[in-house]
Amino acid sequence: MPATNGSMRLKTYQVGTDRAVNAANPFERFIYMEPETPTSTVQHLVVYFYANSFEVNDPNIGYQTPNTNRWVVALAPVGDFDAMYAILQTEKPVYFQWAADNADKLLWFQVSSRAEPIGHN
């Protein structure tokens, strides 16, 4: 598949924690996001927050599966959770944006609002 990018407005989100037996690098938190308008290649968005992820220069920040189960799976250090969660709680609308290479590995991703005029509530 060629390199891709996307931007999806979010409809809902769900947060949680998880723990597994003998996990070498357990994810401690997750944010599952439902897109407002799923597409034929993206129907699910999730960020897993791992205890042992690199804060900078992380060689693996996620992947997408457009031809199978249609997920965009992002990986982040657990220290990033509070900032992303705050955006979901306080901003509206909120978007999940990403780019992936031709092997479906994420090059970058973000959870963000859009530009708003100064003084906008």
Is the pLDDT assigned to residue 53 strictly greater than 60? yes
- Average pLDDT of the residues in 69-82: 94
For the record, the structure tokens of 68 come out as 């199978």
Lowest mean pLDDT among 53-57, 92-96, 102-106: 53-57
Distance CA 75, CA 96 (A): 13
- Average pLDDT of the residues in 62-73: 95
- 103: amino acid identity, one letter: A
What does the pLDDT read at residue 120? 64
pTM of the model: 0.88
- Average pLDDT of the residues in 58-64: 91
- 102: amino acid identity, one letter: N
pLDDT-derived band of residue 6, with 50, 70 and 90 as boundaries?
A: very high
pLDDT-derived band of residue 22, with 50, 70 and 90 as boundaries?
A: confident
Please tell me what DSSP assigns to residue 105: B
